[in-house]
Amino acid sequence: MSYVNTIKMFVRVYELGSMSAAARDQRTSPAVASARISELEKHLGVRLFSRTTRSLQPTENGRIFFEGAKRVLEAIDEAEAAVMDVTQNPRGTIFVSAPLGVGRRFIAPHVPVFKDMYPQIDVRLRLSDRIIDVTAEGLDVAFHLGILEDSTLKVRLIADCPRVLCAAPAYIARRGMPADGAALVAEKHDCLNLRFPGAKEFQWALQTPDGVRRYEITGPFESDDGDVLTGWALDGRGIVMKPVFEVADHLRSGALVPVAVATPPLPTQLSSLSQHRRLKDPKVKLFTDFMAAHVRDAVRGATSGNAG
């Protein structure tokens, strides 16, 4: 398997464009990654990458070898899947990502349950609210919260998720209750926004009697962690837009109250994304089916009674 592992390392170096990033991805050191690439170049008798102190670029030979190496790894994955006994002996490692709120509330609690059911499957879970490149990061499954405009990936809708604009009573007492999206702008309310490199939503899309309208909101705070925004809202620092399931407990307790209810936010969606070939792997399908069922029930349960 050493040559296969070397090819895997080469493919990840090529895809990530970094020796150190590929080493982290394959859970080894940059020195080991570099040694494997050098070993592969010696075996092939060609240079696969042009290296400088600041950059790593594939050579023409590297680009040619990448296309063939990727097909080899895909063939190995399919061959292993074809002989694996799905119900009796699924095994291997699954790489998964999820948004922070979804991951902490719904995915992470069920990972140990899945592991108990399938002891030979390991799960590597990464949580982040940033935009994830499923292919570049070598993920088997990525849970995505948002409306997908277009995707070359296999998309599986798990649940529709209503959203709510809400704030703490202390904020309302200080700044007043905005009736709608127009009031958010006219009264210059402090809006707490989720922003990170590559984020597209710099406006809030709200439903009005005349259709969907996008409002340019402003505020003194923003973060790339949705739970941080919730914390600031609870502290009376501003208005936050959240999926109902993330703030359901706070809405029930009165710690947060809905605002601008005349123009509610557009709902969002929770989906799972996978490369088409990855879903041929039995362990990936098992995990996706398991999590989809449990997460769908959990989201609906958390949303019930709070969507309106």
What domains sit in the chain, N to C, each tagged with a CATH number?
2-83 (1.10.10.10), 92-161+269-303 (3.40.190.10), 163-266 (3.40.190.290)
Q: Does residue 304 register a pLDDT over 90?
A: no
Average pLDDT, integer, range 215-242 = 92
Q: What integer best gives the mean pLDDT of the chain?
A: 86
Higher pLDDT, 135 or 258: 258
Q: How far is 238 from 292, CA to CA, in rounded Å? A: 33
Average pLDDT, integer, range 215-236 = 91
Q: Does residue 255 register a pLDDT over 90?
A: yes
Average pLDDT, integer, range 272-292 = 85
Q: Does residue 70 register a pLDDT over 70?
A: yes
Q: Which of 56-60, 129-133, 264-268 has the lowest mean pLDDT?
A: 129-133
Q: Does residue 235 register a pLDDT over 50?
A: yes
The winner for highest mean pLDDT among 62-66, 183-187, 199-203 is 183-187
Q: What is the pTM of this model?
A: 0.68
Q: Which of 32-36, 79-83, 153-157 has the lowest mean pLDDT?
A: 79-83
Sequence-ordered list of residues with C-beta below 8 angstroms from that of 95, at least 6 positions apart, any chain? 124, 126, 137, 138, 139, 140, 141
Sequence-ordered list of residues with C-beta below 8 angstroms from that of 15, at least 6 positions apart, any chain? 22, 135, 136, 138
